[in-house]
Amino acid sequence: MQYKREEPFRFTFAKPIVGTFFIKKYDGKDIESKLAPLAIIDLSPRGMKLITPLDLPVFQKSIELTVNFSLLDENLTITGLAVWKEKSNHEFLYGIEAFTDENQQQLLLDTLKQYAKEYRKR
């Protein structure tokens, strides 16, 4: 299992953020799967940890996902590569390395900081 703990900002949600995803590329080939449910456990401008009931073969094939979710009324879409997987009860945890440019990273960082500030007020 790989972790990127040297990242400057990674936010772990007390209650995971729900969203959806689809497989954008499978083994280098463009596809567009059906939407599937997920919950985001932690998030940074460069990646995320998520949980879903789907068992994806990330160790055999390269799998690129597009993740959609809302945070503070901001609809966000992140595309990234599934880099690790771990079974958790009847679901699967995945580490996603995000393909984000500087503008996307800044938007995500600003949104996460605002979310953290709002969360502390509760």
Domain map of the chain by residue range?
Answer: 11-121
* pLDDT score for 21: 98
* pLDDT score for 6: 55
Q: Which CATH class is domain 11-121?
A: mainly beta
Tokens of 25: 């590329």
Overall average pLDDT of the 73-95 stretch: 95
pLDDT in tens, 16-61: 999 999 999 999 999 989 999 999 999 999 999 999 999 999 988 8
The model's pTM is: 0.88
CB-count burial class (<10 Å; 0-12, 13-18, 19+) for 83: middle
Q: What percent of the chain is predicted at pLDDT more than 90? A: 76
What residues contact residue 5 under an 8 Å CB cut-off, 6+ apart? none
